[in-house]
Amino acid sequence: MNATIKLEQKHIPVLLDELISIISPLYGGTFIDCTFGQGGYSSKILENKNNKIISFDRDEEVIDISRKLKKKFGKKFSFINKKFSEINSIDLTKENIRAIIFDLGYSTSQIKNSSKGISFNYLGKLNMKMGLNKFSAHDVVNKMDEISLHKIFKFYGDEQKSKIIAKKIVLERKKKIIKTEDLVKIIDLVKKHKRTKTHNSTKIFQSLRIFVNEEVSQLIFGLINSFKILPIGGMIAVVTFHSLEDKIVKFFFRNYSENKNSSRYLPELSQKKQLFKLNNKKPILPSWNEIKINPSSRSAKLRYGIKISNSNDFNEFLKKFEYLLNIEKLSKKL
Ligand SMILES: C[S@@+](CC[C@H](N)C(=O)[O-])C[C@H]1O[C@@H](n2cnc3c(N)ncnc32)[C@H](O)[C@@H]1O
């Protein structure tokens, strides 16, 4: 993709002021931006001369943007083209890490890039790969068995018609489902073109994106591995865009910050270790003004926690979302 197109598809960073206001008391150290994207968050944090940024992104198409920041900020900025779940594979021992930030989902340029085939609003080959993927959405809809498709649509998309849509896809794919519009047509046939407030294809496209990019394990291990490398007093801040992501992030912070076993009816249970201090139990949401300027910010939620103790035990977290992690294993059939 050339630079002119990238400029037209500039991503507006979501909840930027709110994020800066929660992390700025920690200024003067290293910040990790797990989702560099168009560099909106990273550039803003680098405006403070005492800060250093290490950014991750799995999409190699953002390397050009990262080079511009490198030129401007030199040693204060580094970019790693890796998935954020691998955050603990980098030697960060010399860094004074103050906060690790996630802005989940897709940048505007990824959504509008028809070769990525991410959105039903942009015609293009069914692909959905963010970067560093093992398979595409094309592989999933053309090769996966009906029961697996049904599970993906149900658990990752909460699609009520998951079973019939899976059946219809298997019937129709004799002709191959190549483009985003081919899949939209099949979904419309099942839903009989009844467009509600939500587009007929929203949930199916969402579930395929989550599956193709292994977003559930990325998020779960991204959070766990970030926690492991974060010193006490450091912060993890996460912006989510859909309910599945938010459910995972909310559980991670709440479960490890509240003492749920402290009920007087359960005196024999040991007190659960608290790993985070939460300043807000409720997520921070975009203002009406932000939504007016950037409507795609409307579903964003920002949650954050300050690390107060160490732990290596995340079994409860893993057990809670095992059913979602197991869906990823279906890709072995591809
Ligand atoms: C919403 S955009 C981030 C926008 C950024 N905050 C900005 O202001 O420009 C999300 C970015 O995260 C990247 N991403 C998503 N999941 C990732 C993962 N598991 N590992 C690394 N990068 C990921 C995507 O490729 C995308 O570029």
Rounded distance between C-alpha atoms, residue 58 and residue 81, angstroms: 5
Contact 79, 69 (CB under 8 A): yes
- Ligand 1 atom nearest the C-alpha of 107 is 2
Q: Tell me the mean pLDDT in the region 114-143.
A: 95
Q: Does residue 36 register a pLDDT over 70?
A: yes
Structure confidence at residue 2 as a pLDDT band (50, 70, 90): very low
Per-residue model confidence (pLDDT) at position 246: 98
Taking Cα atoms as reference points, which of 141, 194, 157 lies closest to residue 334? 141
- Ligand 1 atom nearest the C-alpha of 41 is 8
| Residue owning the nearest CA to atom 18 of ligand 1 | 83
**CA-based torsion, 320, 334, 149, 199: positive or negative:** positive
How crowded is residue 199: how many other Cβ atoms within 10 Å of its Cβ? 17
pLDDT tens-digit map of 96-115? 999 999 999 999 999 999 89
Q: Does residue 269 register a pLDDT over 50?
A: no
pLDDT tens-digit map of 7-26? 446 899 999 999 999 999 99
**How far, in Å, from the CA of 257 to the mean position of ligand 1?**
27
Q: Tell me the mean pLDDT in the region 307-316.
A: 96
Question: Domains in the chain and their CATH numbers?
Answer: 3-103+215-314 (3.40.50.150), 121-213 (1.10.150.170)
Structure confidence at residue 265 as a pLDDT band (50, 70, 90): low
Taking Cα atoms as reference points, which of 280, 243, 221 lies closest to residue 34? 221
- Ligand 1 atom nearest the C-alpha of 85 is 19
Structure confidence at residue 213 as a pLDDT band (50, 70, 90): very high
Q: Does residue 260 register a pLDDT over 70?
A: no
Per-residue model confidence (pLDDT) at position 7: 41
Taking Cα atoms as reference points, which of 154, 274, 139 lies closest to residue 203? 154
Interhelix angle 215-229/202-212, nearest 10 degrees? 50
Q: Tell me the mean pLDDT in the region 264-288.
A: 80
